[in-house]
Amino acid sequence: MTFSRRTTRITAVAGAAAAFALLATGCSSSSTPATTGTATDPITLTVTTFGTMGYDDLYKQYEADHPNITIKATNIDTGDNAKTDWQTKEAAGAGLPDVQAVEEGWLSAVMQVSDQFNDLSAYGANDIKDRWVDWKLQQATDTKGRIIGYGSDIGPEGLCYNKTDFAAAGLPTDRDAVATLFGGSSATWDDYFTVGAKYKAATGKAFYDQSGFLWNAMVNQQKEGYYKADGTLNVDGNADLKALWTKLSTATASGLSANQTAWDWGKGKAFTDGTFSTFVCPGWMLGVVKGQVTSAGGDASTGWDFANVFPGGAANWGGSFLTVPTQSKHPQEAADLAAFLTDAKSQAAAFGVAGTFPSVTAAQTDPAVTGTNALSTFFNNAPIGQILADRAKGVVAQFKGPDDSVIQSQVFGPSIQEIDSGKADGATAWNDAITLLNQLVVNK
């Protein structure tokens, strides 16, 4: 009693299809492989993005340049919610937009059904594939060699710190001095926690918002993370991860974590009231920090700055791709739009708005990225583009297995909460994580 994927899909969609049949005919006129639609044949392209991607102005520009095209954009608040949205529509076989943004964290899930995405090679990908850093293009290529996504941003991590708080603790505030303080190019997690202990001793306050982001960075820095490159699990008995966990839980137990709710931070208040003074910042996080500080009533004078250093060396967190699902009625136009949104100029423009660091090499040296913009002004005129370009050096793409996000959020999430809230010590929390791993991933 097995069902072929095709038949079940059809039954699942039958109801919806019947209801929308009339509506659909309105669009089907252009289902013939039209090239860029003509002025007499206007089309609407739907785009779904998430978080802060900084595309709003680019949409307007694209619409102005292509009078026949209207863009209907949807932005979902977080990557997790966007993943749920995509999965639901993918499983239902209907409802996906023409251009779907995909996060690195759920790329492994996307690759399971890569045949549900258009091979962009058929729509001009081969002409532009030299745009991207090698590993970004590699990530978007499936096992059959089909290119299913155009890379937008990457997430090299630097260190955000609050210079007002640092001054209060008697620590240097200049961003170069801060980079040196944390160990410069050879910064280690030990250095980071040592400075944290100093800070804690001087102010009595916590050093970082919560342990989850640090753990995420630690894992992402490894050559192999939760999975080995051959696809086998790499958690239980992984001495490197265990050692890092011990380091993190010891520091947390000594009061360096503010035990904040990630992505909420008291609606941003924790960013403005000195609850913590350092924060791990991939490029796109800079926009998030600015948003949080602003929503809590703060501004540039709140004192956040960005240093060219990261404990444990180069780390990459996240980054997205623009894909064209096979459900799209206008694959050519959608691919063109995706290509436009990810070209060097657009990526540089988006960076100025949202801090999404370009994955296109030409954009990384673009004056719009290396120079000042609204975001860099917020961060005390830090040359954020140059710093991120520096931080991107040495980043390697880590293999992400199918259950990577489950391990991150559901296996280690509860343990991180345990050590942050002081409910359990590091060793207990690690064992709890392994128990959950066996329950949720190994014996699922």
Partner 1 sequence: MTATLTTPPQTTDEQPSPKPKQKVPLTHRLNRFDVKASPYLYIAPFFVLFGLVGLFPLGYTFVVSLNKWNLLTGPAGFVGLDNYVAELTDPFFWNSLFNTISIFLLSAIPQLVIAVVIAAVLDQNIRAKTFWRMSVLIPYVVTPVAVTLIFSSAFDEKYGLINNLLTAFHLDPVMWKTETFPSHIAIATMVNWRWTGYNALILLAAMQAVPRDIYESAALDGAGPIRRFFSMTLPSIRPTMIFVIITATVGGLQIFTEPKLFNPTTATPGGPQRQYQTTVLYLWDLAFNRQNFGKASAVAWLLFLIIVLFGVLNFLISRRIASGEARASRRSTARRLARIDEQKTSVSVAVPAPAPAPAETVAAPRTPPDDSPTQEHRS
435: contact with partner 1 by CB under 8 A: no
Strand-pairing partners, residue 149, are 323
408: contact with partner 1 by CB under 8 A: yes
Q: Kindly write out the interface string for residues 358-397 of this chain, putting x where it contacts partner 1 by CB under 8 A and - elsewhere.
A: ----------------------------------------
Q: What does the radius of gyration of the chain's CA atoms come to, in whole angstroms?
A: 23
431: contact with partner 1 by CB under 8 A: no
Which one of 31, 36, 38, 112 is in contact with partner 1 (CB under 8 A)? 112
Query: Is 324 within 8 Å of 125 (Cβ atoms)?
Result: no
Copy the structure tokens of residue 302.
């709140």
5 or 223, CB closer to partner 1? 5
Query: Is 165 within 8 Å of 175 (Cβ atoms)?
Result: no
74: contact with partner 1 by CB under 8 A: no
Query: 43-50 and 69-76 as β-strands: parallel, antiparallel, unpaired?
Result: parallel
Residue burial 113-123, b: 16+ Cβ < 10 Å; e: rest: bbeebbbbeeb
Using CB under 8 A as the binding criterion, the count of chain residues that bind partner 1 stands at 43
DSSP letter at 161 equals E
109: contact with partner 1 by CB under 8 A: yes
- With contacts defined by CB under 8 A, name the span among 109-117, 225-233, 236-244, 370-378 that binds partner 1: 109-117
409: contact with partner 1 by CB under 8 A: yes
The span from the CA of 174 to the CA of 161, in Å, is 11
Going 63 to 69 to 75 to 80, the CA torsion angle's sign is negative
The span from the CA of 395 to the CA of 341, in Å, is 23
212: contact with partner 1 by CB under 8 A: yes
Which one of 413, 425, 434, 438 is in contact with partner 1 (CB under 8 A)? 413
261: contact with partner 1 by CB under 8 A: yes
178 or 270, CB closer to partner 1? 270
The span from the CA of 180 to the CA of 186, in Å, is 9
313: contact with partner 1 by CB under 8 A: no
255: contact with partner 1 by CB under 8 A: no
The span from the CA of 271 to the CA of 289, in Å, is 8
Query: Is 296 within 8 Å of 267 (Cβ atoms)?
Result: yes
8: contact with partner 1 by CB under 8 A: yes
Taking the complex as a whole, the smallest distance from the CB of residue 270 to partner 1 amounts, in Å, to 8
- With contacts defined by CB under 8 A, name the span among 107-115, 122-130, 228-236, 276-284 that binds partner 1: 107-115
The span from the CA of 139 to the CA of 224, in Å, is 15
Half-sphere exposure (CA, 13 Å, Cβ side) for 176? 1
254 or 421, CB closer to partner 1? 421
DSSP letter at 257 equals B
Which one of 417, 425, 428, 438 is in contact with partner 1 (CB under 8 A)? 417
Which one of 84, 138, 254, 381 is in contact with partner 1 (CB under 8 A)? 84
Q: Kindly write out the interface string for residues 134-173 of this chain, putting x where it contacts partner 1 by CB under 8 A and - elsewhere.
A: ----------------------------------------
Cα→Cα distances 279→100, 237, 304, 368, 391, Å: 30, 29, 10, 25, 15
DSSP letter at 239 equals H
- With contacts defined by CB under 8 A, name the span among 37-45, 54-62, 80-88, 346-354 that binds partner 1: 80-88
12: contact with partner 1 by CB under 8 A: yes
Query: Is 49 within 8 Å of 73 (Cβ atoms)?
Result: yes
18 or 39, CB closer to partner 1? 18
11 or 38, CB closer to partner 1? 11
Token pair 């753990």: residue: 215
Token pair 């790329």: residue: 107
204: contact with partner 1 by CB under 8 A: no
- With contacts defined by CB under 8 A, name the span among 117-125, 327-335, 355-363, 414-422 that binds partner 1: 414-422
Token pair 């008995």: residue: 237
**Residue 32: strand, helix, or coil:** coil
Taking the complex as a whole, the smallest distance from the CB of residue 418 to partner 1 amounts, in Å, to 8
34: contact with partner 1 by CB under 8 A: no
Sequence-separated (6 or more) residues with CB below 8 Å from residue 194: none
Contact set with partner 1 (CB under 8 A): 1-3, 5, 8-9, 11-12, 15, 78, 84, 87-88, 90-91, 109, 112-113, 212, 260-264, 266-267, 269-270, 403, 405-406, 408-410, 413-414, 416-418, 421, 439-440, 444
